[in-house]
Copies of this chain bind each other. A is one copy, B any other.
Amino acid sequence: MLKPVDDRLVETLRTELPGLSIGTPGAAYLEEPRGRYKGAGGVLVKPTSTSEVATILRLCNAAGVGVLPYGGGTGLVGGQIIEDGPAAVIVSLEKMTALRAVTGHVLEIEAGATLQAAQEAAESAGRLFPLSIASQGSARIGGVLATNAGGVNVLRYGNARELCLGIEAVLADGTVISGLRHLRKDNTGYDLKDLLIGSEGTLGIITAATLRLFPRPAAVGTAMMVVESPAAALELLELAEARMPGCVSAFELISGQGLRFLDAAGPEVHQPFAARPDWSVLIEIGLPEGLGPEDALTGLFEAAGDLVSDGVIASSESQRAQMWTLRESLPEANKRIGSISSHDISLPLPKLAQFIEEAQAALAELGDLRINCFGHVGDGNLHFNAFPAEGRDRKEYESLRRAIPETVYDLVDRFGGSISAEHGIGRLKVEDLERYGDPGKLAAMRAIKSALDPKGILNPGAVLAER
C-alpha cells in the first residue's frame, strides 16, 4: 500500500537535491483536456536532469510514495491525473527540454521538449520528424513516447514507437537505463525501449530520446475527395497505395456529420464542397523528384473513376493548410457540440467498413444519436463518437453512458479490433482492458510491473487495475 507524500519526504528531497523546484501543483497540473478527471493534488517537482529524476524516484521508492510522471498534460484517458488515493509526487519534465544533438538522421532530445520543438529542430536541420498530432504545441516528447502517440502520418512513417531509436529512462528504484542509440539496427538484448514506450509511465520515466529523422519529400500534394462510403474510401486508399507505394503519408476519413458540426458550432473553416458530402477523404502524398504531385493526384482521381464523385486538389500551400485546418478542427467542433461518448478504436482494414455500418445500426437501436465517425482510416483507426440528436442535451442520455461504449467495444472486440488505437489506457479504460484484454497478456504485464516496480509507485492506478 502506498503512503501519501509527507513533509519528511519533501525534506529529504530538499536535502538531497537543494536546487530542485518543489511546490504545490497549480490547477494546470490537476486538469485534463476533456474535464473528466480532477487531480487530488500532492507535491510538484521539476527536475532539471536525469540524475535528479533518478534521485527523486529512489527516494519516493524508498518511502513507498506514488509518482505521477507528467508531460504536457494533453492525454485524453486520464493517465496524467490521480483523483484519489495517497497523495503522490508529480514529476514534471518541463525543465528538461534540451536538444542534445542533431545529425542528418537522428534527433537526441530531452523528454520535456514539446513535440513541436522536435519538429522544428528537425526542420532546421532540413529534415522531417513526421509525428504530428493536434496537441503538438503542448504535448511533450516523454508523454508522446509513454503513450506511443499516433496521429496523421502513421500510415507512411509509423507510430511514436517506430520513430524512436532509443531512450534514456529511470526505473522505479532510480536505475538509469542509458539507451540513446543513434542506430537503426541493434540486437543486443531485450527491447526495453519498446517496453517503456506505451507503458504510460507505469514502468519508468523517459528522460530523453533519440528520434528518427527523414528526408523531406521532394514535393507534397494534398487533396480532398468525395466518396460514397467508407468502403469506397478504402478502395481509393488501395488504389493510391498501388500507384504510389510508400508515398501516401496521410489518408483521413471525414464524415458529413463532422462537416455539419463545423457548420453549426465552428470553428469557422473553409469547406471545399458546397453540399456537405456524407463521406470524404483528405489524402496527402510525398513524392520523389521527377513526379509532380498535382499530376499524381489528378492521375489518381482519373483512375478512381466512379469511386470518387468530386475532388479538390490543393494548388497552393494556403489551400493545403485550409484542408488540414478543416481536418484538425473536427475535434474542437465535437467538443463544442458535446459528445456523450468518444471511442478511439482500430479495426482490421478489411472489416472496417462493415464495422461502421453495424456499429451505427447498433447505436441507433440504443437511442436517437448522431455519430461522427472520422479519423486515420489508412491505419484502421477511427474516432467513433456519439452525440445527442439535434436540439437535445447530453444530460438526457445519462442512462446510455455505459451502454454506448459497451456496445461499441463489444463490436470492436468481435471484429478483432482495439479498444484503444492511439490514446492508450490511462485510467479511463482500465476496466475495459481487464474485460477485453487477453488474459495471458494481462498476467505477463502484471509480472513485469511487479518485477520493475515492486512497490507500484509509478503512476498508480493507470493501465493495470490495482488489486
Q: For A451, give the chain B residue with the smallest CB separation.
A: B451
Mask: chain A, 170-213; 1 = CB below 8 Å from B; 0 = not: 01000111110111111111111011011100010000000000
Query: Is A216 located at the chain interface by the 8 A CB criterion?
Result: yes
Q: Which of B105, B191, B288, B464 contacts A287 (CB 8 A)?
A: B288
Which residues of the other chain, B, contact A246 by a CB distance below 8 angstroms? Answer: 156, 214-215, 217, 246-247, 286, 288
Known interface pairs A103-B349, A177-B444, A290-B296. Does A424 touch B242 (Cβ–Cβ under 8 Å)?
no
Q: Which of A418-467 contact B (CB under 8 A)?
A: 418-425, 429, 433, 436-438, 440-445, 447-448, 450-452, 463-464
Judging by beta carbons under 8 Å apart, are A187 and B423 in contact?
Answer: yes
Judging by beta carbons under 8 Å apart, are B247 and A185 in contact?
Answer: no
Judging by beta carbons under 8 Å apart, are B197 and A191 in contact?
Answer: yes
Distance in angstroms from A268 CB to nearest chain B CB is: 31
Q: Which of A271-279, A364-372, A376-384 contacts B (4 or more CB under 8 A)?
A: A376-384
Known interface pairs A191-B161, A247-B288, A290-B296. Does A420 touch B379 (Cβ–Cβ under 8 Å)?
no
Q: How far is the CA of A244 from the CA of B103 in the complex (A)?
A: 19
Mask: chain A, 265-304; 1 = CB below 8 Å from B; 0 = not: 0000000000000000000001111110001100100000
Known interface pairs A215-B242, A245-B286. Does A190 touch B418 (Cβ–Cβ under 8 Å)?
no
Query: Is A348 located at the chain interface by the 8 A CB criterion?
Result: yes
Known interface pairs A380-B183, A425-B189. Does A452 touch B463 (Cβ–Cβ under 8 Å)?
no
Query: Is A362 located at the chain interface by the 8 A CB criterion?
Result: no
Known interface pairs A179-B438, A218-B243. Does A185 touch B288 (Cβ–Cβ under 8 Å)?
no
Judging by beta carbons under 8 Å apart, are B438 and A178 in contact?
Answer: yes
Interface residues on A, range: 35 or more
Q: How far is the CA of A178 from the CA of B186 in the complex (A)?
A: 27
Judging by beta carbons under 8 Å apart, are A244 and B288 in contact?
Answer: yes
Q: Which of A81-89, A147-155, A324-332, A392-400 contacts B (4 or more CB under 8 A)?
A: A147-155
Judging by beta carbons under 8 Å apart, are A185 and B238 in contact?
Answer: no
Q: For A289, give the chain B residue with the smallest CB separation.
A: B243
Mask: chain A, 37-70; 1 = CB below 8 Å from B; 0 = not: 0000000000000000000000000000000000
Q: For A150, give the chain B residue with the smallest CB separation.
A: B185
Which residues of the other chain, B, contact A348 by a CB distance below 8 angstroms? Answer: 103, 105-106, 182-183
Which residues of the other chain, B, contact A241 by a CB distance below 8 angstroms? Answer: 215
Judging by beta carbons under 8 Å apart, are A450 and B451 in contact?
Answer: yes
Q: Which of B188, B215, B288 contacts A288 (CB 8 A)?
A: B288
Which residues of the other chain, B, contact A358 by a CB distance below 8 angstroms? Answer: none
Query: Is A350 located at the chain interface by the 8 A CB criterion?
Result: yes
Distance in angstroms from A30 CB to nearest chain B CB is: 24
Q: For A190, give the chain B residue with the smallest CB separation.
A: B445
Known interface pairs A103-B348, A195-B191. Does A183 touch B418 (Cβ–Cβ under 8 Å)?
yes
Q: How far is the CA of A161 from the CA of B158 in the complex (A)?
A: 13
Distance in angstroms from A210 CB to nearest chain B CB is: 10
Judging by beta carbons under 8 Å apart, are B103 and A350 in contact?
Answer: yes
Judging by beta carbons under 8 Å apart, are A452 and B448 in contact?
Answer: yes
Q: Which of B181, B218, B379 contacts A245 (CB 8 A)?
A: B218
Q: For A214, give the chain B residue with the smallest CB separation.
A: B245
Judging by beta carbons under 8 Å apart, are A195 and B195 in contact?
Answer: yes
Judging by beta carbons under 8 Å apart, are A444 and B171 in contact?
Answer: yes
Which residues of the other chain, B, contact A447 by a CB distance below 8 angstroms? Answer: 451-452
Judging by beta carbons under 8 Å apart, are B183 and A417 in contact?
Answer: yes
Q: Interface on A for B, CB 8 Å cutoff?
A: 103-106, 147-148, 150, 154-156, 158-159, 161-162, 171, 175-179, 181-192, 194-195, 197-199, 203, 214-218, 238, 241-247, 286-291, 295-296, 299, 346-350, 376, 379-381, 416-425, 429, 433, 436-438, 440-445, 447-448, 450-452, 463-464
* Chain A to chain B contacts (Cβ below 8 Å), 12 pairs: A104-B350, A176-B440, A178-B441, A183-B421, A185-B381, A186-B346, A187-B422, A214-B245, A218-B245, A246-B246, A246-B247, A290-B296
